[in-house]
Structure 1
């Protein structure tokens, strides 16, 4: 591997213009494909194999005239205090709905609340349902603006008017989230390298890689019906790993130049050694993300594969474009201070103080057991809130109180009951219309008598009369335990053929969907962990030629991800320090979050494991004893891993400012996980455990050693130039002596 990437690095350095032009042309081609693509991101989450999804599919088949794909909005209106929606106020409502109907040519229907009975018992509040022919993403800015003006005219007439639904204009952060993280990453790189050229290369390559990935996702969105969160996740990861992978190679290039190698050889050697670590680190991330497909949730599979694609592009950019860019500024990348040290007299090249990474490693090595116990105990304490993790799907009740969606939600709950915002839909179907009618009527009557039910609407049949819809309104809030118990109780009845007369009866709706999502994730988490940890364990055995080091890496990951989930629960569920993170409403954690966090964090944790431990193993392979190998590895990689972790943390933290609840929570969870994993697990627990294990850490049974191919991630097989290294080097960096010993 090292030899192969060494040749790629030399070739890219020598042919820098064709390599740069190739990536620019690729970016332009994908961008052109994006401009020619149509359609918009989907918002629906499908759950194959669940009862709620089967019910949705059945509704689509039996009620073909229902436009489930079209956008919708619910207009909620209320008369002034003490008044009712009658007389003049009823006329004002009629004018409001007429204005709404005229706001877009895409509107298919606006219901009349006075005919449908959508008026509260006290006659003060009502609602109308508006359906569109077009998807939410296909509505124009003009459609949104005219709808807003229609609502404002209703408010001007004295009505309280709020709205909710997919047809409302999205309030997005645009590129602000990415921009904040990107700006902070740039600042860290400039301070670290002391060179604009060295800082600019990781930023430029990350932009090119993310540009290609997000453009490709946008071009495929309509064809593959991708969710709107797919691009955000790919962008988040693409920026983070794109900067980090390029940073690692540029940092190694500076070390190789300080050891006396000429620019082309230094670029090639950096690509052969650091590039090998990048390839295997990226491979573990791709395995973790692609493994999300095991959950069999299309939206999660799409997000995982798209993010895996972003990481793959970041790896390819790092090992091809970075060496080419180094050829454009081979000296400026090193920084002015390094060039002065190498060109100056002998007294200017006297060794500086030990690097911070080496000093930290020495501190850990003095008392490894105590450090290990304190670090593990600290992570366990942070992870404790994860034992109270509650999962749910976001609804308008989780929106900030200032939004019209939340106001509409509260108005409906106050006037129609807390369960109105989370109705349950019972779908009853049978080939025999008479049996379907009898089952729907009988089930409706039975459910009406159940505890916790506020209202049951009469069955509404399709044209063929073989399928009915019965709406059940609970008397408890959608996320309440009582509503969840009601769903279970109803399903006990509908799953009993003796009570349904042989007809098929399925329960769906937001709450039912939420229960099915939680059950699906609960059943998938262990197989997913087994798959991802198992495959990554094999990859790390190949990289480190050890059993204990990969095992330690996996256990450390479990600690960091549990601690990250604990922090997520404390802030987003319990509301601790919520004001600090701009969080207005707390509640259950998004159902996708735990498994998505596990997949992403596992990959990133293995990044730091590979970056740091490969340099430790390199020192050990080249003759250093286990403790000395730890200090040498930290001297070489401690700073770059610290910088990489800070960059990833700031990139992810930038997404905390997003308006979408899932992206906000994901940004916080990943930022917390990176901080904990990089600084507590990799920088503290790893050296402590390696020190306690000693030589045993690098032992591998001979029969396994014979089976495994040798990937040479340390660059042992790279040819050494005959000329001696020039004196003067950057602090804390030395050329390892060549050895073929394992």
Structure 2
């Protein structure tokens, strides 16, 4: 290779040489990485948090931290006993003895007598609630011991139904369920993916290699989350999201590389040369694809939310691991075992990709009709987004067989609406006027206040309805409006939701600008055009809007939700929309790059713009379709767990991928390319010169040393 090769070619050529000359060394490195990921990385399951609404710097977060310092009362867990008459002497004796025993546990601050405390015994006499308040200031180990001991003692009460959850126990229970869901999803998806890959490649060796890369992606997911858990909270939803994406993208990238390798093997019997050509051609696409997905996720870093930032960093790290595995581990495996993989079949002229070529020609000839039909249809599907609402959600989002959901359902069946709903917490610091205190008390007839040792007064205002309903958020706003300049702060679940929504509204435009600018720069570096990035972004936004609209229609409005084992909740989980937008946008870029890479190659060979579009779809359509199908299988497997936020994210990503890989890439892309014609590849002269000098592009190698381990 010449010494003036572009940087991208040099890097990829170096990776290709390393893979073909020292494949066993590369493989050994990745084996050690896998052991580390599945060993140390799985420790993240014990560190998961169910609190995703905290936003550093907001009023609700500042007030919560203040209370952590001055309030002697800590977190609490809740138990509910159901199934027999609570007045039964035998049950009453057991409950009273359990309450007495729990009060003696180190770290437990208070346990009220449910029989003597109003509101803790159901009016129908068939259930009772036992709240357990912990001491404030406990370290993690002491808190865990107190919670486990209290829960174990209460669960020994002999009743048909005894459920304990809430507080720190909820995070543990959801973490255990998340681990089980990930395991089940892998057991479901991997065999199905393997079967589909066998159909695609017709041989076990080629079909098994993407699963090796997928294992690397999963190990990378665990390891990235474990690393981030050392410095920040990791959401319980991060496990499913990062694992599903790590698995899906790994299969995507491996599929692209293997298809290209088998094509190169038709032209040469030299395995090392075929590997080198695969890395410098398809590897370039994988490199840009990984970068575009990672850049799409940088938008999450603009938000101050700990949850969104940690998700963005963790998922981006997983994408980078998948990308590196595809351009290092897979070439090493091909150099070592690729000689046993059959080359792609030689098909008669015009047979390969015939269906996709016909679609491309049809869309190009009827470009106005295609645009007039597809664009309005996608816009109609996106209409529900205009009415989208986001909320924190409650235990109703959890699967019906989880402990927290059972407790929620039991309380809902036996107690008045609003029982157990987290109150709006008002912190009135010393110096607050008596008139302000009185006005805050008057906001709720069930207001309860208590004084803290430093002179602070805490007023709890139970809201009507759900914890994140309009009544609760309106109550937060009313307190903030009437306090004036008084030293009063509002916290609690509803206040965190209000602050989270405000944060999204404030930072979303900046996140969009960051992502779009980054994507534009990468696509320009890939294509040398300024119009193609704009066209790509516009068509991607159409598929993304349609997918998000469908999620709103199903999970918020309740249409067809039962088919997915869910129910209409009147809103989406606040975790779902930002993650769907960030991840789906990046995934859509995957398929765009797969197609553009082939179009660019054909255009450089023939200088025929229209035929380059047809050839590009002919040669990439099968890969894009198979990749989308495999991703849909992976996302579908993770939707079997039953967590509503994961169902929302899974459905959104599945629809975004399928719509983008079919309607957008097979119809809109050739139609818009036909409209633009030669102008599609246009750039101003100055930018064209910059791209020619600095742009990342591959070069075909003239020779490469034969690896002794290639066969």
Give the direction of change, closer, same or farther, for the CA distance of 1:119–1:35 in structure 2 (3 Å limit): closer
Q: Deviations over 1:401-426 (max 9, x none)?
A: 56553454355456344365141111
Give the direction of change, closer, same or farther, for the CA distance of 1:652–1:101 in structure 2 (3 Å limit): farther
Report how far residue 462 of structure 1 moved: 1.6
Give the direction of change, closer, same or farther, for the CA distance of 1:512–1:410 in structure 2 (3 Å limit): farther
Report how far residue 556 of structure 1 moved: 1.3
State whether residues 536 and 592 of structure 2, in contact with CA within 8 Å, keep that contact through their aligned partners in structure 1.
yes
Task: Provide the C-alpha distance between the structure 2 equivalents of 1:94 and 1:49, rounded to a whole number of angstroms.
Answer: 43
Pairing 1:714-725 to 2, within 5 Å after superposition: 715=698, 717-720=699-702
Match of 1:456 in 2: 447
Match of 1:383 in 2: 382
2:189 aligns with one of 181, 192, 198: 181
* 2:618 is aligned with 1:635: yes
> SS of the residue aligned with 1:421?
coil
Give the direction of change, closer, same or farther, for the CA distance of 1:116–1:460 in structure 2 (3 Å limit): farther
Q: Report the TM-score, using the length of structure 2 for normalisation.
A: 0.88
Pairing 1:351-500 to 2, within 5 Å after superposition: 351=349, 353-355=351-353, 356-400=355-399, 405-409=404-408, 412=411, 415-418=415-418, 420-430=420-430, 435-436=431-432, 439=433, 441-450=434-443, 453-457=444-448, 459-465=449-455, 467-494=456-483, 496-497=484-485
Give the direction of change, closer, same or farther, for the CA distance of 1:251–1:86 in structure 2 (3 Å limit): closer
Q: Report the TM-score, using the length of structure 1 for normalisation.
A: 0.85
* 2:127 is aligned with 1:119: no
Compare 222-231 and 601-610 and name the one that shifted more.
Answer: 222-231
Give the direction of change, closer, same or farther, for the CA distance of 1:277–1:114 in structure 2 (3 Å limit): same
Q: Deviations over 1:27-58 (max 9, x none)?
A: 33455544889962233332112221121111
Task: Provide the C-alpha distance between the structure 2 equivalents of 1:330 and 1:186, rounded to a whole number of angstroms.
Answer: 18
1:323 aligns with one of 324, 331, 346: 331
* 2:16 is aligned with 1:16: no
* Structure 2: gaps of 5 or more residues: 1-7, 705-711
Q: Deviations over 1:111-170 (max 9, x none)?
A: 433565453695946422225667599959x949x94784363425xxx64443142544
Match of 2:200 in 1: 192
> SS of the residue aligned with 2:63?
helix
* 2:633 is aligned with 1:644: no
* 2:690 is aligned with 1:697: no
Match of 2:47 in 1: 40
Pairing 1:261-300 to 2, within 5 Å after superposition: 262-300=270-308
Give the direction of change, closer, same or farther, for the CA distance of 1:650–1:39 in structure 2 (3 Å limit): closer
Report how far residue 89 of structure 1 moved: 6.1
State whether residues 42 and 227 of structure 1, in contact with CA within 8 Å, keep that contact through their aligned partners in structure 2.
yes
Give the direction of change, closer, same or farther, for the CA distance of 1:647–1:425 in structure 2 (3 Å limit): same
Report how far residue 359 of structure 1 moved: 2.6
RMSD: 3.1
Give the direction of change, closer, same or farther, for the CA distance of 1:258–1:711 in structure 2 (3 Å limit): farther
Task: Provide the C-alpha distance between the structure 2 equivalents of 1:113 and 1:604, rounded to a whole number of angstroms.
Answer: 53
1:524 aligns with one of 485, 500, 507: 507
> SS of the residue aligned with 2:169?
coil
Give the direction of change, closer, same or farther, for the CA distance of 1:275–1:566 in structure 2 (3 Å limit): same
Report how far residue 277 of structure 1 moved: 0.9
Report how far residue 546 of structure 1 moved: 0.8
Task: Provide the C-alpha distance between the structure 2 equivalents of 1:646 and 1:442, rounded to a whole number of angstroms.
Answer: 64
Q: Number of matched residues?
A: 683
* 2:26 is aligned with 1:5: no
> SS of the residue aligned with 2:325?
helix
State whether residues 186 and 637 of structure 2, in contact with CA within 8 Å, keep that contact through their aligned partners in structure 1.
yes
Report how far residue 221 of structure 1 moved: 2.4
State whether residues 240 and 651 of structure 1, in contact with CA within 8 Å, keep that contact through their aligned partners in structure 2.
yes
2:243 aligns with one of 235, 255, 258: 235
